[in-house]
Amino acid sequence: MERIQLLHPEGKKGSHIVKAKYDVMKEVMLETITDYEEIAFKELANVINEKLRDKWEGSVTWYVTAVKLDLEARGLIERFAKDRQQYIRIAR
């Protein structure tokens, strides 16, 4: 099983996860963020949890957090503060 080393926006060492799971989570996450334009992190986790509920083995929330940090580090998405919450959008 091919694995991928996740990146972290602060340069910390990320986890190694199965690449197939990474690819699914990345696709669903980018699609969801694009649909919403900007979305609170908590809502993003809830939406993805709902989409993958019956199709995912393991903690969806853990993977949402880990892949979100990786996509930030790769410059694909960005987080920002709004209404005292962490929001996510596609990087500009």
Residue by residue, DSSP assigns 27-59 as HHHHHHHHHHSEEEHHHHHHHHHHHHTTT--S-
Tens of pLDDT, residues 32-73: 999 999 999 999 999 999 999 899 999 999 999 999 999 999
Give the model's pLDDT for residue 12: 93
Q: What is the pTM of this model?
A: 0.95
Residue 89's pLDDT band (cuts 50, 70, 90)? very high
| Residue ranges per structural domain of the chain | 3-90
Give the model's pLDDT for residue 5: 97
What is the enclosing helix (H) or strand (E) of 3? strand 3-5
- Fold entry, domain 3-90: Arc Repressor Mutant, subunit A (1.10.10)
Give the model's pLDDT for residue 62: 96
